[in-house]
């Protein structure tokens, strides 16, 4: 009979109240033994300090009731969460006694098992539908390049598989799967392997990659697979798929609040407790935490739910995937964490993207862009980074002119010029009468934000406009270099003002971190060419070359005098000599001479050790690649 009941219409039957919820709690305290209390606290995943407190309390039952009431696990109108826990713990006798006490004291009849199951299924269906609606809004509005706003794509139309390497796996997993080879590094065939427990049998996966390598696009493609039930995807049988962009979680410590604020629509009837129960009781759950490097609380010292999940202290049986930049790895990872690194586009991936997304199969146009890429070892190296390949391919296809670059700086300047050119054409203004403005306040803000103690590349909208000026904000927003995100802020008001406990705010950020590096480099180049050495060394010491390599490279390309000083500094730091050679390419005097210098450097024996710094490893690999491509 219960199978025919609409879950939305199921309501507990109410009898006349006898004594009330207060007397029920007193009676319940007598039923809950210390052993049962500790079992419940463990089942509900209470913090160790609370479990210890419960174990030594004079009245463990009363204290447990207080904690359960605070967490919404028992309410005057509903104790289904408690009853479900007792049932899962195989304490059917205690479950029946508690159920009987509740009905006697409150006059409310508890729902039958059939009704409870129907309610749970109804909530799960509602929850999943809301998630799919939100994800569809995200993955159907992909803009490959921000200024071409009329070109909106679905993520499935533009996603191209890029390199994925398994760089760390716990020793206990190494021989558990035939997919793991005994030789250290393993390349995955597809991003779907990340979610396949037969290939990676760990519930904690760290997905790392440098800026521009497509971490967020990969997570959106996974959401697309889940929403459409793609039969080729291991996500097809997953009941709940959670994708949370961590940059939106400022001041939100609870994962359940985060899901409700970010992923649920305003009209959602689901509470934090409902979401907790859905995640706890669903047969299969995958949680993807995208952009740990942009998580506002990563250095706050708070043990938020996000930090607990990463460390394996919360939802240990749920598959949790965390994406982050290689320079910003979480400190406290669970011992079973498997680390996967995105390595960028190879020629096959690059050509597939150009044909599918840029030229629409136009072979002549594809060949023109590909030839331009292959003609320059510098450009070929740059476009292994997916975001650079995407920017170059779209701008080159749009401009239709001769494409030649000798450095990363000249390439990125070409991209910026393309952004402005498109805006001027759209506004019916002649480019000859226009010039790209210098926004010195924005340059300073970008530099200080990237090199500060806590890196910040998103600002409250009002603060940003007050700092850089409304003209700067309007122009760069119009072009697409700046983007506004809507976030939720928790306001700690008294309980009676609960309706105002959250408010929506707006954060301004760059379309991509690389644009922040460009403006920061403009600040560095202007001052590095004129200020005294002590000031310069102080500023340079604040820049991490591994995380902010393009700040150095752009600055060297923008100012020749600054370039000499920066390269001299780089040669003095560990692993900096090879990176300094990369920066030599940024000065356009005689690129052929620089290439010959690099070829000479690489013609000698070059050993890349696992103990080398990441800067040295990366720089040497890039130098070898450039030298090998130059015939």
**Which sign does the torsion angle of CA 599, 601, 602, 603 carry?**
positive
CA distances from 377 to 149, 215, 239 (A): 31, 25, 47
Give the separation between CA 330 and CA 312, rounded to whole angstroms: 12
Q: Which of 6-20, 466-480, 491-505 has the highest mean pLDDT?
A: 466-480
In the chain, what are the domains? 2-111 (no CATH), 125-344 (3.40.50.300), 347-425 (no CATH), 437-511 (no CATH), 529-631 (no CATH)
Residue of higher predicted confidence among 592 and 283? 283
Nearest to 245 by CA among 232, 263, 265: 263
Give the least confident one: 92-106, 111-125, 142-156, 380-394: 111-125
Q: What are phi and psi of 368, to 5 degrees?
A: -60, -45
Q: How far is CA 494 from the centre of its chain?
A: 33
* Statement: residue 570 has pLDDT above 50: yes
The pLDDT of residue 14: 40
The pLDDT confidence band at residue 531, using thresholds 50, 70 and 90, is low
Give the separation between CA 307 and CA 280, rounded to whole angstroms: 18
The pLDDT confidence band at residue 572, using thresholds 50, 70 and 90, is confident
The pLDDT of residue 365: 85
Share of the chain above pLDDT 70, in %: 78
Q: What are phi and psi of 64, to 5 degrees?
A: -65, -40
Mean pLDDT of 605-626: 53
Instruction: Work out the burial of residue 98: count CB atoms within 10 Å of its CB; fewer than 13 is exposed, 13-18 middle, 19 or more buried.
Output: buried
Give the separation between CA 210 and CA 475, rounded to whole angstroms: 28
The pLDDT confidence band at residue 496, using thresholds 50, 70 and 90, is very low
* Statement: residue 606 has pLDDT above 90: no
The pLDDT of residue 469: 92
* Statement: residue 598 has pLDDT above 70: no
Mean pLDDT of 443-459: 85
The pLDDT of residue 463: 93
Structure tokens at 339: 């680390």
Q: Which of 139-148, 168-177, 361-370, 571-580 has the highest mean pLDDT?
A: 361-370
Contacts of 621 (CB under 8 A, 6+ apart): 608
Give the least confident one: 151-155, 455-459, 601-605: 601-605
Residue of higher predicted confidence among 374 and 180? 374
* Statement: residue 428 has pLDDT above 80: no
Residue of higher predicted confidence among 271 and 420? 271
The pLDDT of residue 221: 96
The pLDDT of residue 455: 76
Give the separation between CA 290 and CA 276, rounded to whole angstroms: 20
Cut 0.75: pTM above it: no
Mean pLDDT of 311-316: 90
The pLDDT of residue 479: 83
CA distances from 244 to 212, 222, 285 (A): 19, 12, 14
pLDDT tens for residues 242-272?
999 998 887 788 999 999 999 999 899 998 8
Give the least confident one: 170-174, 219-223, 266-270: 170-174
pLDDT tens for residues 88-124?
888 888 999 999 999 888 888 776 655 566 677 788 9
Mean pLDDT of the residues in the chain:
80
* Statement: residue 304 has pLDDT above 50: yes
Do 207 and 322 meet the contact criterion of CB atoms below 8 Å apart? yes
The pLDDT of residue 117: 65
Helix intervals (H) in 385-435 = 386-399, 408-426
* Statement: residue 127 has pLDDT above 60: yes
Residue 313 is classified by DSSP as S
């Amino acid at each position: 009979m219960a199978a025919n009941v609409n879950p939305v219409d199921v309501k507990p039957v109410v009898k006349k109240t006898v004594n009330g919820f207060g007397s029920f709690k007193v009676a319940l305290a007598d039923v809950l033994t210390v052993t049962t209390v500790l079992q419940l606290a463990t089942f509900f995943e209470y913090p160790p300090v609370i479990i210890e407190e419960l174990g030594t309390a004079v009245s463990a039952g009363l204290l447990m009731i207080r904690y359960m009431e605070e967490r919404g696990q028992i309410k005057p109108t509903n104790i289904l969460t408690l009853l479900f826990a007792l049932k899962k713990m195989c304490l059917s006798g205690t479950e029946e006694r508690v159920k009987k006490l509740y009905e006697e004291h409150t006059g409310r009849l508890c729902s039958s098992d059939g009704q409870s199951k129907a309610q749970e299924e109804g909530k799960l269906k509602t929850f999943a539908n809301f998630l799919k609606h939100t994800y569809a809004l995200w993955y159907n509005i992909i803009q490959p390049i921000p200024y071409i706003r009329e070109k909106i794509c679905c993520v499935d139309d533009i996603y191209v598989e890029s390199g994925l390497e398994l760089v760390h796996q716990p020793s206990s997993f190494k021989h558990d799967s035939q997919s793991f080879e005994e030789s250290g590094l393993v390349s995955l065939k597809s991003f779907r392997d990340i979610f396949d427990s037969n290939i990676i049998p760990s519930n904690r996966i760290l997905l790392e990659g440098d800026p521009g390598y497509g971490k967020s696009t990969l997570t959106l493609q996974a959401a697309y697979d889940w929403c459409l039930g793609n039969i080729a995807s291991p996500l097809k049988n997953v009941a709940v798929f959670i994708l949370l962009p961590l940059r939106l979680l400022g001041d939100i410590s609870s994962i359940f609040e985060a899901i409700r604020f970010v992923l649920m629509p305003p009209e959602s009837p689901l509470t934090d407790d409902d979401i907790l129960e859905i995640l706890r009781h669903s047969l299969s759950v995958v949680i993807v935490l995208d952009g740990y490097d942009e998580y506002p609380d990563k250095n706050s010292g708070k043990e938020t739910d996000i930090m607990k999940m990463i460390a394996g202290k919360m939802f240990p049986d749920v598959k949790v995937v965390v994406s982050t930049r290689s320079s910003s790895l979480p400190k406290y990872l669970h011992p079973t964490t498997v680390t996967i690194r995105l390595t960028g586009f190879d020629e096959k991936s690059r050509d597939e993207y150009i044909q599918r997304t840029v030229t629409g199969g136009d072979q002549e146009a594809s060949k023109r862009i590909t030839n331009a890429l292959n003609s320059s070892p510098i450009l070929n190296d740059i476009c292994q980074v997916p975001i650079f390949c995407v920017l170059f391919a779209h701008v080159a296809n749009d401009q239709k002119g001769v494409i030649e670059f000798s450095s990363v700086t000249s390439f990125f300047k070409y991209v910026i010029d393309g952004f402005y050119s498109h805006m001027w054409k759209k506004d019916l203004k002649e480019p000859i009468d226009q010039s790209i403005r210098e926004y010195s306040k924005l340059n300073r803000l970008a530099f200080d934000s990237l090199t500060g103690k806590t890196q910040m590349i998103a600002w409250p909208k009002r603060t940003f406009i007050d700092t850089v000026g409304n003209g700067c904000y309007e122009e760069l927003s119009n072009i697409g270099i700046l983007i506004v995100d809507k976030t939720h802020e928790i306001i700690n008001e008294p309980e009676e003002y609960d309706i105002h406990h959250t408010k929506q705010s707006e954060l301004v950020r760059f379309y991509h971190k690389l644009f922040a590096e460009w403006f920061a480099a403009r600040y560095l180049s202007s001052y590095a060419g004129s200020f005294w050495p002590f000031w310069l060394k102080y500023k340079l010491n604040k820049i991490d070359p591994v995380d902010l390599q393009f700040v150095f490279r752009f600055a060297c390309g923008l100012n020749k005098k600054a370039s000499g000083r920066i390269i001299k500094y780089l040669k003095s730091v560990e692993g900096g000599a090879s990176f300094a050679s990369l920066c030599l390419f940024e000065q356009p005097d005689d690129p052929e001479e620089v290439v010959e210098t690099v070829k000479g450097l690489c013609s000698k024996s070059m050993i890349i050790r696992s103990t080398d710094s990441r800067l040295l490893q990366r720089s040497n690999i890039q130098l070898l690649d450039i030298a090998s491509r130059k015939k």
